[in-house]
Structures are given as C-alpha cells and as structure tokens.
Amino acid sequence: MFSSIRAYIQTCTQLSEDEFLFFERRLKHKKIPKKTFLLQQGEVCNFEGFIIKGCIKTYFIDNNGFEVILTFATENWWVSDMMSFSEQKPSKMFIGTLEDTELLLLTLPEKEAALQKIPALERMFRLMLQRHVASYQERIFAGIALSAEQRYDLFLQKYPHLPLRIPQHLIASYLGISPEFLSRLRKRKLYKNTLSSPKSSIS
C-alpha cells in the first residue's frame, strides 16, 4: 500500500525506516469511486493526496459554465489545491475523479506534525511545488507561443498514456480548444501519418 509513495519519496530525499513509518501513519488510505468530487468551489481544501491508482482532474468553471482543466493527475502524483490547503481559504476550483481512485490523504495538522518531526520532508514538498511551477510555466509558454496542433503534440509527448484513459473533450479543454477542433486535428494527423509511415500498417 505504501510502496509507491516510498519510491516517490526516495526520488526526493533520504529517510530512515522510522521516519517512513512515522510519515505513513500520518496518511489515510481511501478508495473513491469514479465521478466523485474531492473538492468543490467554495470549500476549503482539507487534503493533499498522493494517487496510488486512478485518475483525477482539477478544473475551474468559466463564465459560460464550461470546465477549464487545470491538470490531470494519475499514479504517483500529488493532487490538491495547495493555496486553499495551506492557507485554509475557500477554493475556486473543483477536484474530481475520472476513474475509481485509490489515494493516500494528508491533512494539514498531520502534514505539519510530519514536517516538525522529519525536516527532510520539507525538501519533498518543495520539489513537489517546483514540479507544479515548472509544468505551469511550460503550459503558459505553450499557450502563447504554440499552435493548437503543436500543443497537442507536446501533450502526447509528455503524457502518452493519458489519451487512452481520458475522454477527448477533456483533453481539448486542457489544451484550450473546442472538442470539435481537436477531432479535426486528430483526423488531419491520422492522414499525415498514413502517408509518411506506411510501414506501420499491419495489413
């Protein structure tokens, strides 16, 4: 149950067996069915969650009532509204499951207790924040400098497994384009690929 988060922590920092155990005891294991909210607009986010299995979206609702996807999160990602969580302020976002999902949840008091006892964890959480920052920066750049097709290519390259798990219209929302246009993009690419790499056909 904790194997994946142990592996994750070890990519960030070194912990003793006692420290691992102490941290793991702060976590609450939870299974959540598909299409369930973990957080809704206006609520205070009371968790940081490490995903063991499953898939989650975080998003805003725009003035026309449409979802604007901020992130997709799958295995070995942390998910939360970190601003709402650490400042205990009402959130503007929604967090919901796209699949049956298994999580390790950390509350704010438990997190603070863990950081108190295990300062080395500061590094893990800082790296987590930095990864988010890096991915947001890349996204802003892409949104300004790249065409819809280039953004889609980048998405496929960075998250090759996601299109198999996530409905297309949500990917369109993530990319900032309409579902119809993503459909046309895909059609165009299919045509290009069958022209440029005929060998890949199974026949």
Q: Which residues bind DNA (CB under 7 A)?
A: 147-149, 167-169, 176-184, 186-187
Q: Which of 40, 8, 25 is nearest to 125 (CA)?
A: 8
Residue 86 sits in the site that holds a copy of itself (CB under 8 A)? yes
Q: In this complex, which beta carbon is closest to a copy of itself, that of residue 137 or of residue 194?
A: 137
How near is the Cβ of 143 to a copy of itself at its closest, in Å? 4
Cβ atoms 120, 15 nearer than 8 A: yes
197 binds, among DNA, a copy of itself, none (CB under 5 to 8 A by kind): none
CA distances to 55, 93, 130, 168, 169 from 165, in Å: 8, 22, 26, 9, 12
Beta-carbon contacts of 194 under 8 Å, excluding residues fewer than 6 positions away, are: 201
By rule CB under 8 A, what count of residues binds a copy of itself?
29
Measured in degrees and rounded to the nearest 5, phi and psi for residue 102 equal -115, 125
**Distance spanning both ends of the chain, measured CA to CA:** 44
Annotate each residue in 14-53 with x if it binds a copy of itself (CB under 8 A) or - if it does not, as one string.
----------------------------------------
Residue 11 sits in the site that holds a copy of itself (CB under 8 A)? no
Residue 164 sits in the site that holds a copy of itself (CB under 8 A)? no
> Taking the alpha carbons of 168, 80, 74, 175 in that order, is the dihedral positive or negative?
positive
For 68, which DSSP code?
E
How near is the Cβ of 137 to a copy of itself at its closest, in Å? 6
Measured in degrees and rounded to the nearest 5, phi and psi for residue 31 equal -110, 135
Q: Which of 1, 18, 62, 161 binds a copy of itself (CB under 8 A)?
A: 62
Q: Which of 2, 8, 22, 60 binds a copy of itself (CB under 8 A)?
A: 60
How near is the Cβ of 84 to a copy of itself at its closest, in Å? 10
Q: Which of 18, 112, 122, 180 binds a copy of itself (CB under 8 A)?
A: 122
